[in-house]
Structure 1
């Protein structure tokens, strides 16, 4: 994996998921500890910061009246009913822990659905940057992570999904996606293994 042709794509690192008072925190409460996943992600970003790897965050943001969502179902219906990820709200903001790396993280607006490529400039930017490998971290594994990963694979990118930097809605769901679903189109590894592949983490963990 060539660091200069690799991008780390961060999905869902917003207060409505990760803050203790977030409107959707209960969606991930049963997962294998959101704070552990967050800690792993921050460790990864810290090690990638001085490297050529691009780091991109694609926050999901909706208008005040959710006019983008016409007859929503599933998680999008829940988002609308709870008033989550609404423009101008605290819940829509990037978590404070990542804001410490604001100069290093490129925020791409426009995401209003499950797939981070939809309604955003990701595909154009990745082509301009000469990206070959997309590494995905974030929430939720069975929804936005999977949808984005499949789309990236369809665009002929090599996709890697980080098992210790992604969150399912339960431990069973997370294990199922990492063991049975993601390997159908992507590599699945820990962030330590990724750093080793990039020659950024020489310690054998």
Structure 2
């Protein structure tokens, strides 16, 4: 039987502050509660850099334009939203690029725990979720994407990815339907 983990990706203050859907984080909190109640590990994936951003090449369009200190030590905007904050014992994975795997120890942690099924949620659908789906599929993980626990600033992009692209490599469902499979 596959062992699952819920990955909650990029739900950090600086990122949540740009989300136009005020119900997103409460929905994500319901997914986290369902996972915890069912004993499914919750892993929090965040973007983070050392002081001075030595990991960022200025040519990188996604991260090269970040202001000094952003997502670095002491940046309050790098904190995980309190509504979904990690509990004691829950893993926080720090990544250096868009995919949850890039520049992180996520794969090592998953393999060590025997996890082979990832349930994905995050901000944004066309960023961390897309990049993680593609890389995780290449790494032979079973995948589920919680469509209503993902957000993209472009609703049409979100729709296309969740309805057309992701189903090629993942099961796509809602938080409510996924939670029913846990009990």
Q: Could you tell me the TM-score, scaled by structure 1's length? A: 0.82
Structure 1 residue aligned with 2:155, among 171, 195, 198? 171
Q: Aligned pair in 2 of structure 1 residues 104, 97: CA closer, same or farther (>3 Å)?
A: farther
CA distance in 2, matches of 1:127, 1:105: 16
Say whether the 8 Å CA contact 1:40–1:165 is kept in structure 2.
yes
| 1:148-203 alpha-carbon deviations (Å, 9 max, x no partner) | 1111111111111110000112211111111122112111110111111222xxxx
- Larger strand proportion, structure 1 or 2? 2
Residue 163 of structure 1 aligns to a residue whose secondary structure is strand
CA distance in 2, matches of 1:195, 1:72: 42
- Backbone CA RMSD of aligned residues: 1.8
Q: Aligned pair in 2 of structure 1 residues 37, 152: CA closer, same or farther (>3 Å)?
A: same
Residue 36 in structure 1 maps to residue 20 in structure 2: no
- Moved beyond 3 Å, runs of 4+: 81-84
CA distance in 1, matches of 2:59, 2:27: 32
Structure 1 residue aligned with 2:43, among 56, 66, 71? 56
Aligned to 1:9: 7
How far residue 81 of structure 1 moved from its aligned partner, in angstroms, is 4.2
Residue 142 in structure 1 maps to residue 126 in structure 2: yes
Q: Which runs of 5+ in 1 are unaligned?
A: 20-24, 200-205
Aligned to 2:111: 127
Residue 103 in structure 1 maps to residue 69 in structure 2: no
Say whether the 8 Å CA contact 1:55–1:104 is kept in structure 2.
no
Counting matched residue pairs gives 183
Say whether the 8 Å CA contact 1:69–1:76 is kept in structure 2.
yes
Say whether the 8 Å CA contact 2:25–2:84 is kept in structure 1.
no
